[in-house]
Amino acid sequence: MSVTFEDIKAAADLIEGHVLRTPSFRSDSLSRLLGFDVFLKLENLQHTSSFKPRGALVKLLSLDDASKTAGVVAASAGNHAQGVAFFAQNLGIPATIYMPTGTPFTKVRRTEELGAHVVLSGDGLAEAREAATAFANANGKQFVHPYDDEKIVTGQGTVGLEMLTDHPDLDILLIPIGGGGLIAGSAIAAKALKPDITIIGVEAEAYPSMKNAVARIPDTSGGQTVAEGIAVKVPGAVTRPIIEELVAEYILVSEASLEKSIQTYLESQRMVVEGAGAATLAALMDDPAKFIGKKVGIVVSGGNIDSRLLSSILLRGLVREGRLVRLRIGITDAPGILARVCGLIGDCGGNIVEVYHQRMFYDVPVKLADVDVVVETMNGDHVNDIIETLKESGFPTRCLNDSSAEDGS
């Protein structure tokens, strides 16, 4: 194996005092929710809100003086960019980061604020990485790969080392997989400390690249995912054999599960977690019976999520749980009727957020109208109570939470 446990222990000594030794603890709320002991490793509290600075620092410290003077180059749309930029700035190493042209401005700005020069190039990460490597080769600069590098794997392995040092009695450890640097390094450390521990990798359903590579089947990765941090089409050549040897199982999680997991972290732990970081909890929530009676550790790999995306996920979650609904109510177009409808909803304990009074565009008689009301409720049963109350009072009502709402069906 190219990376050893001794390498990871040496890396831990090397980066001590420079990266945060992030907390790991048993989550009472998640353990109650799922029915077994759940332990969290909070890399979302790391410098730049991701585990990435660990490997970046080990790699940068390994460079000779000439390479440090020449500077480094990386390609990333987020966490790796900030990890490299953070320690390059601290070490006085010039850093150039290539990012896809569609990278959100907030991520570009954060990377620039950490002292890196950002170049926008290519429609996607593959194109940005190609441009970055070409620039590095042409200018004698060191390219820092996000995962396919032994030094990077060694640094990321300190996550697993810390987790098993803090909780040596874990039965299972779940770790997200993108290119594989985090799980490869952490699996080496965890297996060295507890040989019988089960390591499970978690991938986004849209990007099963490592699972497919290990199974020797054609890859199907592609498309949009909220877990962009693990949306990798080509797993690492360095990481793959390590993972193939040490990882027992691969779990794929859907977009709906990822969204629900992000919402659960915020509501139960009061903690902001990005899609990739939420993947491991999503796997537990999808099949909790599988883990009953076990002590399960999960790595929360990062907390960098766009605020607009987080807002959308939370609102979608409220809709999914019946805590935010849109009701279409048929009324007579007469004075006082709308006030009566609102009063009935209020008497049932519903909180009206918005009201749309439709007279013009629906296929209803001229003396009638449709009212669309967005209401906050407690749950699905509460919604049904409100609907039945309105119907019993002579107001035909239905819930509109899908595309059928727009065609009047």
Residues 341-353 pLDDT 10s: 889 999 999 999 8
Residues 151 and 145: their CA atoms lie apart, in Å, by: 10
φ and ψ at residue 76, rounded to 5 degrees: -170, 155
Helix residue spans in 304-379 (DSSP H): 307-320, 337-347
Binned at pLDDT 50, 70 and 90, residue 124 comes out as: confident
Residues 179-210 pLDDT 10s: 999 999 999 999 999 999 999 999 999 999 99
Q: Percentage of residues in the chain with pLDDT exceeding 70?
A: 95
Question: What is the reported pLDDT for 406?
Answer: 39
**C-beta of residue 302 within 8 angstroms of C-beta of residue 270:** no
What crossing angle do the helices spanning 52-61 and 79-91 adopt, rounded to 10°? 40
Question: What is the reported pLDDT for 403?
Answer: 38
Residues 332-387 pLDDT 10s: 878 888 889 889 999 999 999 888 876 655 565 656 788 889 999 988 889 999 99
| Strand arrangement, sheet containing 351-358 | 351-358, 368-376, 324-332, 397-399
> Is pLDDT at 220 greater than 90 in this prediction?
no
| Strand arrangement, sheet containing 198-204 | 24-26, 37-42, 295-300, 172-176, 198-204, 249-253
Q: Which residues of 334-372 are buried (b: 16+ CB within 10 A; e: fewer)?
A: eeebbeebbebbeebebeeeeeeeeeeeeeeeeeebbbb
Question: What is the reported pLDDT for 333?
Answer: 77
Residues 310 and 315: their CA atoms lie apart, in Å, by: 9
The CB density around residue 222, as the number of other CB atoms within 10 Å, is 11
> Is pLDDT at 404 greater than 60 in this prediction?
no
Question: What is the reported pLDDT for 17?
Answer: 95
Q: Domains in the chain, start-ordered, CATH in brackets? A: 5-51+149-316 (3.40.50.1100), 56-143 (3.40.50.1100), 323-406 (3.30.70.260)
Q: Which two tokens stand for residue 350?
A: 């519903």
Question: What is the reported pLDDT for 1?
Answer: 64
**C-beta of residue 242 within 8 angstroms of C-beta of residue 160:** no
The whole-chain average pLDDT of the chain stands at 91
Question: What is the reported pLDDT for 405?
Answer: 37
Tell how strand 324-332 and strand 397-399 pair up.
antiparallel
Residues 322 and 185: their CA atoms lie apart, in Å, by: 42
**C-beta of residue 390 within 8 angstroms of C-beta of residue 330:** no
> Is pLDDT at 4 greater than 60 in this prediction?
yes
Helix residue spans in 205-274 (DSSP H): 209-215, 239-246, 255-269
Question: What is the reported pLDDT for 360?
Answer: 57
